[in-house]
Chains A and B, each alone.
Chain A
């Protein structure tokens, strides 16, 4: 990622000859963010599956403890009931937070615990999209080249939208280390 600052310095002028480099960077950072997002998405699915399993096992244990309470001594019955009830409550609440669209915090915690670079990548790709979009509007002259650039920008934007859908749309992409 360190090459990013060397490749495009914001204070320097973008010239028409930078076009190929810009497209290459868009592709590179789109692929990087896509990979990170896929990883986070998979992690979230694994966590959700794990929590679902805990919830189901706890529910079954709860039902079993209630249905067959006569076969157990009172302390065993109470222990199973309490443990399964607590596990069920904890897993249900965690699932509720993960599925709640307004609750970014839980997802962000998971994302942060997996990868601190993801937000920085999204910020940099967003910045690149801005540069490429400016290039499209102000620098690019050939229609066919504009079409190619438009497609590359659109691909990058769809990855950013994917990122937004996983962690919830950030208020801004400003990134501070």
Chain B
């Protein structure tokens, strides 16, 4: 479960090898999946790190390379590097692009994807170009901390609502078994609150929705795991660069890579 992931992380430090060892495991993944084609769909709200994850899974991007948040206009497709038939589909996360989600939902319910990754970030959703004081949640005289609290709270609710939306096609999915990962990204921002974050996802409305899917599909047809990492270590800033929350003082790159390796490992285990 999610808490175990954090425990694993806190023990692993010489990690560069771990990442390099785990990444090629995706090659095995392709062979193991039905029809020789690995189809992964990545859901998540805008600004949680879906595209960055897609690039990393496909082997296109190194985690040490910082990438500015750029909103995706349409569903993105990444092919596994060095693979013949692996594909990662990422519908854009913004609410106004729900038609792209509906198309992906149809594919999920048709059983086109056996691996579903839902990316959440404890409400730390990046936003583009807009200052936090222009956000509709901001009120005159509010401190940055107060704004971040209500902003992330709203985004956490959005994450739960989106999971409920995703749960419908997953419950109907013909893919057997369906494997779902909840990836809690942006560890570098919330690392000091990790107990709260763990509780939020594993002992709350979020997990209740996961349990509903489990009871509908049955444990033989559906399995779910929590994993967590920081895809990039960047802190939390507004769209115009104002710092909203800094990187946790006890978070480091070895921790990030350990978690990343854990994510790859879980995906690999899912396919065995």
Contact = CB atoms under 8 A, between A and B. Distances in A.
The finding on whether chains A and B are genuine partners in a shared complex, rather than unrelated, reads: yes
A138 B136 contact: yes
Interface string B95-138: 11000000000000000000000000000000111110111100
A13 B134 contact: yes
Q: How many B residues touch the partner, as a band?
A: 10 to 19
Contacts of A150: 96
| Highest count of chain A CB atoms <10 Å: which of B46, B130, B131, B135 | B130
Interface string B129-152: 111011110000000000000000
Interface of B: 46, 70-71, 73-74, 94-96, 127-131, 133-136, 239-240
A138 B134 contact: yes
A112 B167 CA distance: 48
Contacts of B70: 130, 172
B127 A134 contact: yes
A138 B96 contact: no
Interface string A6-47: 000011111110000000000000000000000000000000
Where chain B touches its partner, the secondary structure class is loop
Interface of A: 10-16, 127, 129-131, 133-141, 146, 150, 153, 157, 160-161, 172
Contacts, number: 60
- Top 5 A-B residue pairs of the complex, sorted by shortest distance between their CB atoms: A13-B131, A134-B130, A131-B129, A134-B128, A138-B135
| Highest count of chain B CB atoms <10 Å: which of A15, A130, A140 | A130
Given A138-B130, A138-B134, A160 B96 contact: no
A170 B95 CA distance: 25
Nearest to A139: B134
B222 to A, nearest CB: 32
A13 B239 CA distance: 10
Contacts of B130: 14, 131, 134-135, 138-139
B94 A10 contact: no
A156 to B, nearest CB: 10
A16 B95 contact: no
Given A131-B128, A131-B129, 11 more contacts: A11-B240, A13-B240, A15-B134, A130-B70, A130-B128, A134-B128, A137-B96, A137-B127, A138-B127, A141-B136, A150-B96
A16 B134 contact: yes
Contacts of B129: 10, 14, 127, 130-131, 134
A89 to B, nearest CB: 34
B136 A130 contact: no
